[in-house]
């Protein structure tokens, strides 16, 4: 194509100013953010024009831009109604916090606090000292500390224990797991400078396998909880107590990454399998354990390390500890969550309440929602389902649950699900056999009215 033809195409490009004017007010975004997207779009059209591609009509460009701006606006952090039946949905922010815990965060956020001030001496105090103390009491540990997340906790424990010249950690092959989101135990170990000494076969490992692997380079024995999958059949491995005895006999620390870290007996809350607790693993002889704050613990994102005081003190001296520490808002949320567990009564945490909600309560809510939708052109019914813990925890446990099942008319289930996700508030459900299912175990009762309105809006696209 010759220069003049390109020139013709370039002349047909709309001006950035006109497009900003045409799209302004379409969505609630700062003008600067709108302008940037518009400039990017015009630059792309210019590039295409230089390649001989004719730009679309102005209105077409403006409409496409409005859609992109709306998508950008929707990507802003906002509350979502979780009707997926997955309690700890990593994409939806894992554990929700209670209003009381959120109040503690608010107080820490809006006022100054004694974060690092000793109120008695007026001197600098220890950040997080109270929550560390409370966590040690809760888990029966000598000492405890907190980091950004459980991945950080694992890195810190590995770094500290392999810093004394010995670099090897012994771990069973069947525990070299991938958690999700690119978190693989072997890679984390290597990143923290630890040499992996794998023992056993995928499905079986014996105490003798561990013992044979112990040598002058051994720094520790690591046990990792297979949080998100299970093995059955011809499987066996030594338990914490057996490994602890072996470790002790060789003056080695035994470290256990529990991942989910329930501190109450999960089987007492709901028909679930038993999730290992830090209390029982420490009592069985583990020297250090770590677990997540926002999985079955039901708190904010954090990594909790509990165990021997001298080891915890060493971890806190690692320069990396400073880089991986929690901020005051997380410490406030974590402290309020731990205090809830220590209150002596059933913890009033959303996760525990969702787990313990009786089926009859869900049924009554489903009936009321279905009733409230009876005038719509939409087949709605209450259904039976199974909810899951999710977040890479308890893969074998499913909780009986109740759904509102919807078959919209005049639109596909996929389209309907998208409209619900794009609504206000957005709703996330799941599709089975062309039917959209909204699981009520993960929907708070206070959200039922908003859920009903969201369904109404999504079911009648033309009525807007
Ligand atoms: C989830 C999990 C982690 C990572 O926890 P984060 O808090 O998400 O960093 C580490 N180890 C195990 C065994 C887990 O299940």
Cβ 257 under 6 angstroms from ligand 1: yes
Strand partners, 255: 222, 288
Cβ 429 under 6 angstroms from ligand 1: no
Task: Report the residue count for the chain.
Answer: 464
Q: Is the pLDDT of residue 200 over 80?
A: yes
Q: What is the pLDDT of residues 289-299, one digit of tens each?
A: 999 999 999 99
pLDDT band with cut points at 50, 70 and 90 for residue 380? very high
Cβ 224 under 6 angstroms from ligand 1: yes
Neighbours of 374 (CB within 10 A): 8
Please tell me the distance between residue 300's alpha carbon and the centre of ligand 1 in angstroms. 13
Average pLDDT, the chain: 94
Please tell me the distance from the alpha carbon of residue 257 to that of residue 150, in angstroms, as a whole number.
Answer: 8
pLDDT band with cut points at 50, 70 and 90 for residue 462? low
Cβ 149 under 6 angstroms from ligand 1: yes
* Site of tokens 């299970």: 230
Q: What is the pLDDT of residues 73-126, one digit of tens each?
A: 999 999 999 999 999 999 999 999 999 999 999 999 999 999 999 999 999 999
Could you tell me the end-to-end alpha-carbon distance of the chain, in angstroms, rounded to an integer? 47
Cβ 292 under 6 angstroms from ligand 1: yes
Tokens read off for 129: 């000292």
Please tell me the distance from the alpha carbon of residue 61 to that of residue 43, in angstroms, as a whole number.
Answer: 13
Please tell me the distance from the alpha carbon of residue 83 to that of residue 458, in angstroms, as a whole number.
Answer: 15
Tokens read off for 206: 């014996």
Cβ 151 under 6 angstroms from ligand 1: yes
SS3 258: strand
Tokens read off for 383: 């259904």
Cβ 94 under 6 angstroms from ligand 1: no
Neighbours of 121 (CB within 10 A): 8
What values do phi and psi take at 134, rounded to 5?
Answer: -65, -40
SS3 74: helix
pLDDT band with cut points at 50, 70 and 90 for residue 463? very low
Cβ 194 under 6 angstroms from ligand 1: no
Please tell me the distance between residue 295's alpha carbon and the centre of ligand 1 in angstroms. 9
Strand partners, 401: 385
When pLDDT is averaged across residues 369-394 and rounded to a whole number, the result is 93
Please tell me the distance from the alpha carbon of residue 394 to that of residue 403, in angstroms, as a whole number.
Answer: 21
SS3 content of the chain, % helix, strand, coil (to 5): 45, 20, 35
Residue with the smallest CA separation from ligand 1 atom 1 is 259
* Site of tokens 């410490």: 331
Give the residue, out of 147, 184, 191, 292, with the most ligand 1 atoms within 8 A of its beta carbon, to mutate for a pocket test.
292
Give the residue, out of 88, 91, 95, 151, with the most ligand 1 atoms within 8 A of its beta carbon, to mutate for a pocket test.
151
Dihedral sign (CA 338, 339, 345, 347): negative
Residue with the smallest CA separation from ligand 1 atom 13 is 259
Please tell me the distance between residue 192's alpha carbon and the centre of ligand 1 in angstroms. 16
- 266-to-261, 271, 297, 367 alpha-carbon distances in Å: 10, 8, 10, 29
Q: What is the pLDDT of residues 113-146, one digit of tens each?
A: 999 999 999 999 999 999 999 999 999 999 999 9
Residue with the smallest CA separation from ligand 1 atom 10 is 259
SS (H, E, C) 109-151: HHCCCCCCECCCCCCECCCCHHHHHHHHHHHCCCEEEEECCHH
Cβ 150 under 6 angstroms from ligand 1: yes
Q: Is the pLDDT of residue 2 over 70?
A: no
Q: Is the pLDDT of residue 344 over 90?
A: no
Of 304-308, 309-313, 389-393, 399-403, least confident by mean pLDDT is: 389-393
Q: What is the pLDDT of residues 390-435, one digit of tens each?
A: 887 888 888 999 999 999 989 999 999 999 999 999 999 999 999 9
pLDDT band with cut points at 50, 70 and 90 for residue 63? very high
When pLDDT is averaged across residues 184-207 and rounded to a whole number, the result is 94
Q: Is the pLDDT of residue 34 over 50?
A: yes
Please tell me the distance from the alpha carbon of residue 88 to that of residue 95, in angstroms, as a whole number.
Answer: 6
Q: Is the pLDDT of residue 464 over 50?
A: no
Q: Is the pLDDT of residue 461 over 70?
A: no
Q: What is the pLDDT of residues 166-186, one digit of tens each?
A: 999 999 999 999 987 788 999
When pLDDT is averaged across residues 62-67 and rounded to a whole number, the result is 96
When pLDDT is averaged across residues 305-317 and rounded to a whole number, the result is 98
């Amino acid at each position: 194509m010759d220069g003049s033809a390109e020139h013709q195409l370039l002349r047909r490009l709309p001006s950035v100013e006109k497009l900003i004017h045409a799209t302004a007010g379409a969505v609630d975004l700062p003008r600067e953010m709108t302008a940037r997207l518009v400039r990017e779009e015009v630059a792309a059209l210019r590039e295409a024009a230089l390649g001989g591609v004719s730009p679309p009509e102005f209105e077409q460009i403006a409409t496409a831009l409005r859609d992109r701006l709306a998508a950008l606006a929707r990507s802003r952090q906002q509350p979502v109604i979780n009707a997926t039946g997955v309690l700890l949905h990593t994409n939806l922010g894992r554990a929700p916090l209670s209003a009381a815990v959120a109040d503690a965060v608010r107080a820490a956020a809006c006022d100054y606090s004694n974060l690092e001030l000793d109120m008695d001496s007026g001197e600098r105090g220890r950040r997080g000292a109270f929550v560390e103390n409370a966590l040690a009491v809760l888990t029966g540990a000598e000492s405890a500390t907190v980091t950004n997340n459980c991945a950080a906790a694992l890195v810190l424990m590995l770094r500290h224990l392999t810093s004394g010249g010995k670099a090897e950690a012994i771990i069973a092959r069947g525990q070299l797991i991938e958690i999700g989101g690119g978190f693989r135990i072997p890679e984390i170990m290597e990143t923290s400078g630890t040499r992996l000494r794998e023992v056993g076969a995928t499905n079986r490992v014996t105490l003798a396998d561990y013992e044979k692997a112990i040598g002058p380079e051994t720094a520790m024995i690591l046990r990792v909880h297979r949080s998100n999958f299970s093995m059955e059949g011809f499987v066996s491995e030594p338990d914490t107590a057996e490994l602890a005895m072996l470790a002790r006999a060789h003056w080695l620390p035994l470290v256990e990454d529990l991942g989910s870290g329930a501190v109450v007996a999960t089987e007492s809350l709901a028909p679930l399998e038993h999730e290992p607790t830090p209390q029982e693993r420490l009592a069985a002889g583990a020297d250090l354990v770590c677990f997540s704050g926002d999985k079955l613990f039901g708190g904010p994102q954090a990594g909790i390390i509990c165990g021997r005081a001298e080891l915890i003190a060493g971890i806190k001296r690692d320069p990396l500890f400073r880089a991986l520490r929690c901020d005051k808002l997380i410490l406030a949320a974590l402290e309020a969550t731990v205090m809830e567990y220590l209150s002596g009564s059933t913890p009033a945490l959303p996760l525990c309440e969702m787990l313990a909600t009786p089926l009859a309560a869900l049924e009554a809510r489903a009936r009321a929602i279905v009733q409230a939708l009876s005038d719509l052109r939409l087949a709605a019914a209450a259904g039976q389902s199974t909810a899951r813990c999710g977040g890479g925890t308890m893969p074998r446990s499913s909780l009986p649950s109740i759904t509102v099942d919807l078959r919209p008319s005049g639109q596909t289930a996929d389209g309907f699900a998208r409209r619900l996700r794009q609504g206000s508030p957005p709703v996330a459900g799941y599709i089975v056999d062309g039917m959209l299912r909204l699981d009520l175990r993960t929907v708070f009762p206070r959200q039922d009215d908003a859920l009903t309105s969201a369904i109404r809006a999504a079911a009648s696209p033309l009525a807007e």
